[in-house]
Structure 1
Amino acid sequence: MAVVVVGGGPAGRALARECAALGVRTTVVDPDPGRPWRATYGAWSDELPAGTPVGLVASRARVVAGREHRLARAYSVLDNERLWRLPDEVEVVAGRVVERTGSGVRLADGRVLTGEVVRATGAVGGRAAQTAVGVVVPAASARPFVGPDEALIMDWRRPPAATTADPTFLYAIPVSADEVLLEETSLARRPGLPLPELRLRLHARLAAHGVPVPEGEERVRIPLDARPGPGAFGAAAGFIHPATGYSVAVSLRRAPVVARALAEGRPVVRSPRERAVHALRMRGLTALLAMGPDEVPEFFDEFFGLSDLHQRAYLGGHDDLGGTVRAMVSLFGLASWRMRARMVFPVH
């Protein structure tokens, strides 16, 4: 039995590790396997499987919409260096796949690799996207935005400068003992909000508090409505949550399950429950895209007014159909009539 994982990001490498642990001959193909990951990966701590390499944990989390919400959940920032590592049993091939053959893949240089092929190259296509621009500043400079041992998941207060009415939020998380990532984020827009607009807003927030703009920035673009592909894993398989942009935690949780299926010769497919949950979340994305600028913070006030159980089910239960339905019904019950109309009859 052999597996060829096309794509060497967090999802592809997680699957390769699990396949190798089961004794499956595993190859990872990536155009530039030595390229460092520049993205910062964060997740709710309770959604990560045991053994996940974590660099830092914030024990407190907060959301600011129309009101402030303090969440009883820890938030983790992953350790990219350890997440990148692979066991010696995994062969890493630098190359670009140009053709999928009946028994494997053909690379641009003519090499042929044999094995069950799994595509983990990320989401491709779609029109809606989450975009963000971020900078890393000293923790002391970030104090106007986020406190010690705290993750600011969303702050929807409007920045001092903006050229469009599109709603954006500040995301602020500690990335080391003395540094914090501050990121201006457009949660969902069709097409994605341009990076220059996000950069303008972020720099305006910094300037309002006398924080110098550091060198370098992190840029994010996550497709939210890309069509999942067959024989895929991770974002390419539809693991991206269309209302949050998160996918790494579910990829890490699913890797052992998918690896076992591959080792046993079973096809890599999403279960009916996973497909149903994804369809419901896509419905939520459609409603979110239809909301006006002032309605989005109102929506999140209502969402974070749900019980902790309902929040967790909707944000993380990728195959929890019952929990997802109960969360959506509960949110509908809390919403104003105007917001209910947006949910039922979204027009964008």
Structure 2
Amino acid sequence: MVIAGGGPAGRALARACARRGLATVLIDPAPGRRWRATYGLWADELPALPTSAVACAPSATLAFGTGPHVLDRRYLVVDNDGLRRWLDEGYDVVAGTVSGVDHGRLGSSVRLEDGRVLATGLYVDATGARPRENRYEQTAFGVVLPAEDALRLVDRPDTAVFMDWRDTESGFLYVLPFGDGTILVEETSLARKPGLPLDVLAARLRARLRGVGLTSRGREERVRIVLDLPAPRRGRTVPFGAAGALVHPATGYSVATSVRLAEPVADAVVQAWDRGPAAVASAAHRALWPSSACTVHGLRRHGLRALCGMPPELVPVFFDLFFTLPTELQRAFTSGREDVSGTTEAMSALFRLSPWQVRKHLIGWRALRRSR
């Protein structure tokens, strides 16, 4: 196995394959570089996550459309160093960058920029999704503040705010405690094509902070996530993680999904290994994209476009309705990657609850429900 990409997705798959006895090489352009992004996830999405990989488990998670909602799901903030230690097991790491891949009948040759060539039975691309002008993107700009400063924006230092649409311009505020006396406060654009420029979001956040007498004097965080990738076609290169469209089109989340899917993908690869490289790549694709996952991915992409077509003043109303849904329907839409019935029921319930001003932007949801 050769896997390109040293983030959580690539390392999770490398670990899973190595634990099943496959000689596995991970290609990382900067193996010693720390992961700087902040990862949050729902605890029920990744129950195998060890406590050593959790930086903080907020006491409560809130969301605001036009009013407050207490979310009945446990939210976790990932400890990046702990997650990496958990995933660093059993495989070799090669410092380098892939310049090309040649596929043959008996295997593949992975060429690195420095001229080295690695032979492999299966090549996996986990290098992330490249920004594209014709795709929807989620962008965000955040700053890490001392908890005593952040309390001018939030009520309690141990509470996460999943999204706050109050007092925003076509975007929301995301607040995440790290459990070490600091809090991330992030101005986020849900989705745009192309993504809202980071300097615009930075200006909005600084204006928000000035409004409560603060300056952004902590570590800054910049986020750009490609949302609207189609499910990949089968081929000899297997895309995984963000490169493989595992980002949720309507939320931007992918880490829990990628780490969780590493195990079944590795199982499929091992079971098909003796049938040759083409069969192995096909088995990996089937494990990643059964028909149910393809259907849900299409529904989520439709939901993304419906959200992006709403006037900004209606988006908080939409999320007020979403957060009044039963928790199991919220979970189905945000986390049920193969849950076709749950996803369509969540979309149908939202349509039924919506006032006509919102409903006319969701009109296709009922047709999608009937077609399934």
- Which TM class, normalised by the smaller chain length? over 0.9
Q: 1:150 to 1:54 in 2, by over 3 A?
A: same
Deviating more after overlay: 27-36 vs 291-300: 27-36
Equivalent residue number for residue 118 of structure 2: 113
Aligned to 2:14, the other structure's residue is in SS state helix
Offset of residue 119 of structure 1: 0.9
Report if aligned partners of 1:137, 1:182 keep a CA contact under 8 Å in 2: yes
1:8 paired residue among 6, 9, 13: 6
Aligned to 2:77, the other structure's residue is in SS state strand
Q: Deviations over 1:183-207 (max 9, x none)?
A: 0000111111111110111111111
Q: Deviations over 1:227-277 (max 9, x none)?
A: 443411111121111111000111111111111111222421111100000
1:1-348 maps to which residues of 2 (within 5 A)? 3-52=1-50, 53-85=53-85, 86-87=87-88, 89-102=90-103, 103-115=108-120, 116-124=122-130, 125=132, 126-146=134-154, 147-159=156-168, 166-229=169-232, 230=234, 231-265=238-272, 266=280, 267-269=283-285, 270-344=289-363
Report if aligned partners of 1:261, 1:268 keep a CA contact under 8 Å in 2: yes
TM-score, normalised by the number of residues in structure 1: 0.93
Report if aligned partners of 1:49, 1:252 keep a CA contact under 8 Å in 2: no
Unpaired segments of 5 or more residues in structure 2? Answer: 273-279, 366-372
Offset of residue 59 of structure 1: 2.6
Offset of residue 332 of structure 1: 0.8
Deviating more after overlay: 208-217 vs 282-291: 208-217
Moved over 6 A (4+): none
Offset of residue 88 of structure 1: 5.3
Report if aligned partners of 1:168, 1:186 keep a CA contact under 8 Å in 2: yes
Unpaired segments of 5 or more residues in structure 1? Answer: 160-165
Counterpart of 2:228, as a letter, is: D
Offset of residue 127 of structure 1: 1.9
Report if aligned partners of 1:56, 1:78 keep a CA contact under 8 Å in 2: yes
Percent sequence identity is 49
Separation in structure 2 between the aligned mates of residue 227 and residue 34 of structure 1, nearest angstrom: 32
Equivalent residue number for residue 369 of structure 2: none
Aligned to 1:170, the other structure's residue is in SS state strand
Separation in structure 1 between the aligned mates of residue 128 and residue 88 of structure 2, nearest angstrom: 22
Counterpart of 2:90, as a letter, is: E
Offset of residue 345 of structure 1: 5.5
Separation in structure 2 between the aligned mates of residue 51 and residue 71 of structure 1, nearest angstrom: 21
Report if aligned partners of 1:232, 1:268 keep a CA contact under 8 Å in 2: no
Aligned to 1:191, the other structure's residue is in SS state coil
Separation in structure 1 between the aligned mates of residue 112 and residue 21 of structure 2, nearest angstrom: 25
Counterpart of 2:271, as a letter, is: E
Report if aligned partners of 1:65, 1:297 keep a CA contact under 8 Å in 2: yes
| Equivalent residues, number | 338
Offset of residue 304 of structure 1: 0.7
Report if aligned partners of 1:129, 1:223 keep a CA contact under 8 Å in 2: yes
Separation in structure 2 between the aligned mates of residue 262 and residue 114 of structure 1, nearest angstrom: 17
Deviating more after overlay: 298-307 vs 146-155: 146-155
